[in-house]
Amino acid sequence: MINFLEIRRHFPQYQKKKSHWAYHYCRYVKDRPEIRKRITGSSEYAYRYCRFIKDRSEVRMYITANYYLERYREWKAKQ
């Protein structure tokens, strides 16, 4: 069985897309803290996590791009 936490050793391209991978793992497999902390390199996936999985402050702080910040604020205002 593949240990998904160690996948980066085998696939160098994982480093470029780790936020993408971590978001999908949390959404479709299991939302785990050790996976969640890997959503760091992409404002898009931090925004998606907060909106579609759970709005958590430790992930929300990675929404830094103005476009996704504005979308997050609009979504939060509608709630």
Query: pTM to 2 decimals?
Result: 0.76
**53, part of any domain:** yes
> Could you tell me which of 60, 42, 61 has the C-alpha nearest to residue 51?
60
Q: How far apart are CA 22 and CA 26, in angstroms?
A: 6
Enclosing domain of residue 26: 13-78
- 5 domain residue, yes or no: no
Give tens-digit pLDDT for 28-67: 889 999 888 888 888 999 999 999 999 999 999 999 999 9
**pLDDT of 9 above 60:** no
Q: Decide if 33 is inside a domain.
A: yes
Confirm whether 29 is domain-assigned.
yes
- Answer yes or no: is 7 within a domain: no
**Overall domain count for the chain:** 1
**71 within some domain:** yes
